[in-house]
């Protein structure tokens, strides 16, 4: 591509996601979606240093552990990064305080609709609030409560997912939300796909799966190898066997663990029928099945029995690449798509 053509494409991309870049303070409006056990200082700093916006996954960390992770990340990058907090964490207020004291600029609230009190506390403390909007009504409510940016995440994503694909969520939400930047997530692995959402009004994109299998990710080599091997169809959501015993849908690679989960549910339901287990005990037993399973897969490399959370975009992970190379690929694909469009409209 001729340099001037490329420059014009890049300028258009900069303009298309300017709102997202301004909000995040990063070179590109590309968020590294927080991934428990994976999104720690090394990956987060690598994403921010490469021009994206890394986000620490607090998960179940306690306040001291989070403070250490933030300090560790600050030692590795001068660029902005955020922290993802789960709203049902029992020490949420303390975690918010830790972020504010460490001057973290952006807090992403996940795992439920955050209270306006939490949103206000974060804003009063000088940080910006990002929240997940699973539907248009909730997007509007979150903005009223003070959320300054939204993420809409389709069911293609890895980890805990809602029932609606990004294709549909984007059409439902993007044309109607103008007050705050909206970032799209779920199933994204190429820059041209990201451009198509920017054209629809998104301010930027959030990716998880592609970054999890990067060189800088501390995930076990076997975890990364499973991503390289995996096809889109292998990244399935957890199956619920009995409507009386709800299972939170989590998308990950099918393995012996996911098959054992089905057998476990069948066993628990049988024990409930026998009267061996009460309804509450049966539900608890189902919920406890996966306790510690993500850590087993990510850190210990047990990809057969652990929880190998991955999105459908896993099929587009072809090798373990450095973060800078992944981000560069995404940006160049985005520019190429824009240039194609510019050349078509000028014909």
Ligand X SMILES: Cc1cc2nc3c(=O)[nH]c(=O)nc-3n(C[C@H](O)[C@H](O)[C@H](O)COP(=O)(O)O)c2cc1C
Q: Residues binding ligand X: what is the number (CB under 6 A)?
A: 27
Residue 232 Cβ vs ligand X, minimum distance, rounded to whole Å = 10
Q: Per CB under 6 A, which of residues 120..179 are in contact with ligand X?
A: 153, 156-159
Q: Which residue has the CB atom at the shortest distance from ligand X? A: 208
For residues 122 and 53, what is the distance between their CA atoms, to the nearest angstrom?
19
* Segment lying near ligand X (by CB under 6 A), choices 29-37, 270-278, 283-291, 336-344: 29-37
Strand order in the sheet with 128-132: 30-32, 204-207, 182-185, 149-153, 128-132, 106-110, 82-86, 55-57
Residue 155 Cα distances to 131, 134, 147, 178, 258, angstroms: 17, 10, 22, 23, 18
Closest among 196, 224, 251 to 326, alpha carbons compared: 224
Residue 2 Cβ vs ligand X, minimum distance, rounded to whole Å = 33
Q: Among residues 155 and 265, whose Cβ is nearest to ligand X?
A: 155
- ∠ CA 305-156-257, nearest 5°, is 10
Closest among 83, 24, 27 to 59, alpha carbons compared: 83
Residue 137 Cβ vs ligand X, minimum distance, rounded to whole Å = 21
* Segment lying near ligand X (by CB under 6 A), choices 63-71, 89-97, 202-210, 236-244: 202-210
Strand order in the sheet with 250-253: 159-160, 250-253, 235-237
Q: Among residues 6 and 134, whose Cβ is nearest to ligand X?
A: 134
Residue 38 Cβ vs ligand X, minimum distance, rounded to whole Å = 5
Q: Among residues 110 and 335, whose Cβ is nearest to ligand X?
A: 110
Interface residue with ligand X, options 51, 204, 306, 311 (CB under 6 A): 311
Interface residue with ligand X, options 20, 186, 230, 315 (CB under 6 A): 186
Residue 3 Cβ vs ligand X, minimum distance, rounded to whole Å = 32
Residue 211 Cβ vs ligand X, minimum distance, rounded to whole Å = 8
310 binds ligand X (CB under 6 A): yes
Interface residue with ligand X, options 208, 257, 306, 315 (CB under 6 A): 208
The span from the first CA to the last CA of the chain, in angstroms, equals: 17
Residue 298 Cβ vs ligand X, minimum distance, rounded to whole Å = 7
Residue 6 Cβ vs ligand X, minimum distance, rounded to whole Å = 26
212 binds ligand X (CB under 6 A): yes
Q: Give the CA count within 13 Å in the CB-facing half-sphere of 30.
A: 32
Q: Per CB under 6 A, which of residues 220..279 are in contact with ligand X?
A: none
* Segment lying near ligand X (by CB under 6 A), choices 123-131, 169-177, 308-316, 337-345: 308-316
36 binds ligand X (CB under 6 A): yes
Q: Among residues 166 and 180, whose Cβ is nearest to ligand X?
A: 166
Q: Among residues 208 and 230, whose Cβ is nearest to ligand X?
A: 208
Residue 297 Cβ vs ligand X, minimum distance, rounded to whole Å = 8
Residue 40 Cα distances to 33, 54, 114, 243, angstroms: 11, 9, 23, 36
Q: Among residues 268 and 298, whose Cβ is nearest to ligand X?
A: 298
Q: Which residues bind ligand X (CB under 6 A)?
A: 33-36, 38, 57, 59, 84, 110, 153, 156-159, 185-188, 206-209, 212, 309-311, 313
């Amino acid at each position: 591509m001729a340099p001037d053509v490329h420059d014009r494409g890049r300028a258009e991309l900069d303009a298309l996601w300017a709102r997202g870049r301004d909000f995040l303070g990063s070179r590109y409006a590309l968020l590294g979606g927080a991934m428990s056990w994976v999104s720690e200082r090394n990956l987060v700093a690598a994403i921010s240093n490469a021009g994206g916006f890394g986000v620490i996954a607090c998960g179940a960390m306690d306040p001291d552990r989070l403070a250490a992770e933030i300090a560790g990340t600050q030692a590795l990058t001068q660029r902005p990064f955020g922290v993802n907090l789960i709203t049902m964490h029992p020490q949420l207020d303390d975690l918010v305080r830790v972020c504010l004291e460490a001057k973290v600029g952006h807090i992403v609230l996940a795992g439920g609709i955050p209270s306006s009190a939490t949103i206000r506390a974060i804003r009063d403390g000088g940080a910006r609030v990002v929240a997940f909007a699973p539907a248009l009504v909730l997007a509007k409510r979150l903005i009223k409560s003070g959320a300054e940016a939204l993420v809409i995440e389709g069911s293609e994503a890895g980890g805990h997912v809602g029932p609606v694909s990004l294709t549909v969520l984007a059409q439902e939400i993007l044309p109607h939300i103008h007050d705050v930047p909206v970032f799209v997530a779920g199933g994204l692995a190429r820059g041209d796909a990201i451009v198509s959402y920017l054209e629809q009004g998104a301010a930027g994109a959030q990716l998880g799966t592609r970054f999890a299998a990067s060189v800088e990710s501390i995930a076990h080599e076997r975890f990364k190898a499973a991503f390289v091997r995996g096809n889109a169809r292998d990244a399935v959501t957890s199956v619920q066997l009995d409507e009386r015993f709800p299972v939170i849908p989590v998308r990950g690679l099918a393995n012996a663990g996911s098959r054992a989960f089905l057998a476990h549910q069948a066993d628990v339901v049988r024990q409930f029928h026998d009267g061996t287990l009460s309804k509450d005990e049966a539900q608890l037993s189902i919920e406890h099945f996966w306790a510690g399973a993500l850590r087993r897969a990510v850190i210990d490399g047990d990809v057969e029995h652990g929880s190998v959370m991955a999105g459908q975009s896993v099929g587009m992970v072809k090798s373990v690449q450095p973060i800078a190379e992944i981000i560069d690929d995404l940006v160049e694909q985005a520019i190429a798509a824009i240039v194609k469009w510019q050349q078509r409209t000028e014909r």
